[in-house]
């Protein structure tokens, strides 16, 4: 089957990596959502591990039709766009997985954050640079901070480009994440996102050029600091002061 370049399709062909993703996911008896089922390689391995249900979200109608032929009664294939799909319509305590397309990963991650009340944990494979930022291994942008506000994330492993067809120009990374059950995280996601995107515009600009000195003092943050230097705790502290200003 010819892959669609516009959909960023790169199919994983490494059995060892697929087994690692499934073992980290531990899907037995749970409701699983796979994002981007492709030809069904990961889908079939997930079904072998006894999930209660497996919902696959696939935007490519050709791939969706192919996945339907698996014929397992636990499997439901939805031809839909994962960047706009409401995951909470599937269940209340979901386990997510998938090899996220390089060109739409940001939209999918943002959708997962929006749906975080019904997402318990998951394992994603993404472009390596992105995976490192989402787990705090490299300096994150606003989306990395947005993600780690609601999820704990761990970088598991790197996956060379040769393990995909067609071979991408960059390596991938596997991330395991789980929902934080902590108080104090922002409940107004739209407002918090707007704050983060503003904060990380020109991330090397000193904070005193973005916020009033009295606000920074109230948050206990020096005005000479920069957004890219702040910890998640400091960002949340600044947001709480900013939100109440």
Identify the H or E element spanning 20.
helix 15-25
For the chain, the structural domain boundaries read 5-179, 189-243
In DSSP terms, which residues pair with 75 in a beta bridge? 54
Task: Determine the topology of domain 5-179 in CATH.
Answer: Rossmann fold (3.40.50)
pLDDT, one tens digit per residue, over 65-111 is 999 999 999 999 999 999 999 999 999 999 999 999 888 999 999 99
Quick check: do 5-179 and 189-243 share a fold? no
pLDDT by residue (tens digit) across 165-195? 777 788 999 999 999 987 778 999 999 999 9
- Strands 164-165 and 119-127 come out as unpaired
Instruction: State residue 1's pLDDT score.
Output: 47
In this prediction, residue 244 has a pLDDT band, given cuts at 50, 70 and 90, of low
Give the model's pLDDT for residue 161. Answer: 80
- For the segment 102-123, the average pLDDT, to the nearest whole number, is 95
Q: Distance between CA atoms of 178 and 38, rounded to whole angstroms?
A: 24
Beta bridge partners of 153: 177
What dotted CATH number matches 189-243? 1.10.8.100
Q: What is the pTM of this model?
A: 0.90
Instruction: Report how far Cα 158 is from the mean position of its chain's Cα atoms.
Output: 16
pLDDT digits (tens, 9 = 90+) for 70-81: 999 999 999 999
Nearest CA-CA partner of 122 in 177, 174, 57:
177
Q: What is the pLDDT of residue 92?
A: 95
User: 201 burial class (0-12, 13-18, 19+ CB within 10 angstroms)?
Assistant: exposed
Task: Tell me the pLDDT tens digit for each residue of 3-16.
Answer: 444 444 567 767 78
Q: pLDDT tens-digit profile of 21-74?
A: 999 999 999 999 999 998 899 999 999 999 999 999 999 999 999 999 999 999
Which of 8-17, 82-91, 155-164, 232-241 shows the lowest mean pLDDT across its residues?
8-17
124 DSSP assignment: E
Distance of alpha carbon 46 from alpha carbon 97, whole angstroms: 10
Q: Indicate if the pLDDT at residue 220 is higher than 60.
A: yes
Q: What is the mean pLDDT of residues 231-243?
A: 93
């Amino acid at each position: 089957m010819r892959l669609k370049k516009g959909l960023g399709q790169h199919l994983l062909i490494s059995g060892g990596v697929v087994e690692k993703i499934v073992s980290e996911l531990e899907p037995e008896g749970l409701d699983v959502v796979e994002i981007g089922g492709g030809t069904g390689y990961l889908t079939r391995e997930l079904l072998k591990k006894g999930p209660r249900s497996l919902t696959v979200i696939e935007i490519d109608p050709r791939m969706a039709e192919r996945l339907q032929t698996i014929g397992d009664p636990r499997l439901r294939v939805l031809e839909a766009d994962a960047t706009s799909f409401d995951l909470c319509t599937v269940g209340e305590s979901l386990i997510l997985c998938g090899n996220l397309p390089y060109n739409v990963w940001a939209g999918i991650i943002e959708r997962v954050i929006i749906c975080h009340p019904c997402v318990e944990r998951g394992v994603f494979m993404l472009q390596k640079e992105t995976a490192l930022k989402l787990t705090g291994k490299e300096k994150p942008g606003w989306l990395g901070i947005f993600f780690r506000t609601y999820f704990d994330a761990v970088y598991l492993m790197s996956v060379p480009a040769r393990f995909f067809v067609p071979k991408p120009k960059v390596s991938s990374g596997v991330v395991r994440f789980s929902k934080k059950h902590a108080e104090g995280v922002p409940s107004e996601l739209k407002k918090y996102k707007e704050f983060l995107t503003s904060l990380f515009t020109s991330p090397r600009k000193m904070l005193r050029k973005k916020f009033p000195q009295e606000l920074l003092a109230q948050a206990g943050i020096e005005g000479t600091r920069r957004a890219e230097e702040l910890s998640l705790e400091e960002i949340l502290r600044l947001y709480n002061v900013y939100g109440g200003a």
